[in-house]
Structure 1
């Protein structure tokens, strides 16, 4: 079956390129017990000092519902601190803790070394081209992309097909506590 779309799947190519790059950094993060999201936050905070959660969402490309959990775990790890803004108690400022700053400083030379390895493998010219092209895609200059007008869709119709009842779950008897538990 021939594809009806003549363009290559650009978002999928970006995802594959991202994976092709991040796989070289992931072992470093894993070694230090960090997720990719946690590293993005540590790196941004090491460069910006303090940020509000909405700024972290934007700079780290993390959705707000996910960020709350990530920050909570990082707070539990002792690598960040969160404080309310005195003038507006609704706002929160996130900073690296001394432990987080030390961790970022310990990881940074390894990340730098891995970038040098990438540069040797891919070539400085290709790395520079990637930065240039990605900056153009992200920030322009280019006119805004016009959105297509979506066609009207028919309202979904209710069907008279009965749905099968979910099987009844078997009740488990409570486990007895033993002295070992």
Structure 2
């Protein structure tokens, strides 16, 4: 009996090429993206239950830690590109979760803050979020998680000293 190869496997073999670099699956950006996906998989349902996307939650989290912030600084802080941030801010403002103002000193500068309603929503989501963090900590281990966060912070700090374009990225590619 002759076995036929599945079309997907045949295409993968035909398209495979040897490139003089590490395997795609072993690249640092892909490893970080896979780890991020593994973590975020646990948070998405909770955010969805509260009518939030990951990016909206990221913005609310960033805004909750400051009194007010410039839009360009918020984009850097939340690692979002300006066009995406603009759309997300419109959505959050329409839901009265944030407040936007124009800087008096420079009318071109937009300022953003979390509203009382946005803060109340965060207080509603927080217990679920903290329960997920606790489950991740139990599963992975508190010491290992603390070491991982320290290592990631150190990696970020050491790479910030290298030349680069410094542009915010939504995907980390």
User: Cα distance, 1:146 vs. partner?
Assistant: 6.5
Question: Structure 1 residues 90 and 6, CA, compared in 2 at 3 Å: closer, same or farther?
Answer: closer
TM-score, with structure 1 as normaliser = 0.75
User: Cα distance, 1:6 vs. partner?
Assistant: 3.5
Tell me the equivalent position of 1:82. 100
CA distance in 1 between partners of 2:47 and 2:160 (Å)? 38
Instruction: Give runs of aligned pairs for residues 110-149 of structure 1, distance below 5 A.
Output: 110-140=128-158, 144-145=161-162
Question: Structure 1 residues 146 and 33, CA, compared in 2 at 3 Å: closer, same or farther?
Answer: closer
Tell me the equivalent position of 1:98. 116
Q: Does 1:5 align with 2:4?
A: no
Instruction: Quote the RMSD (CA, aligned, Å).
Output: 1.8
Structure 2 spans left out of the alignment, 5+ residues: 1-16, 165-173
Residues 39-90 of structure 1, C-alpha deviation per residue, up to 9 Å, x if partnerless?
0000111111211111111111100111111101111111001011122211
Structure 1 spans left out of the alignment, 5+ residues: 148-181
Tell me the equivalent position of 2:126. 108
Tell me the equivalent position of 1:46. 64
Tell me the equivalent position of 1:19. 37
Q: 3-state SS of the aligned residue for 1:34?
A: coil
Tell me the equivalent position of 2:7. none
Question: Structure 1 residues 10 and 104, CA, compared in 2 at 3 Å: closer, same or farther?
Answer: same
Q: Work out which of the residue numbers 73, 95, 110 in structure 1 matches 2:91.
A: 73
Q: 3-state SS of the aligned residue for 1:88?
A: coil
Tell me the equivalent position of 1:32. 50
Q: 3-state SS of the aligned residue for 2:42?
A: coil
CA distance in 1 between partners of 2:31 and 2:43 (Å)? 19
80-89 or 34-43: which moved more? Answer: 80-89
After TM superposition, where is structure 1 displaced by more than 6 Å over at least 4 residues in a row?
none
User: Cα distance, 1:145 vs. partner?
Assistant: 3.8
Relative to its length, the structure with more helix (as a share) is 2
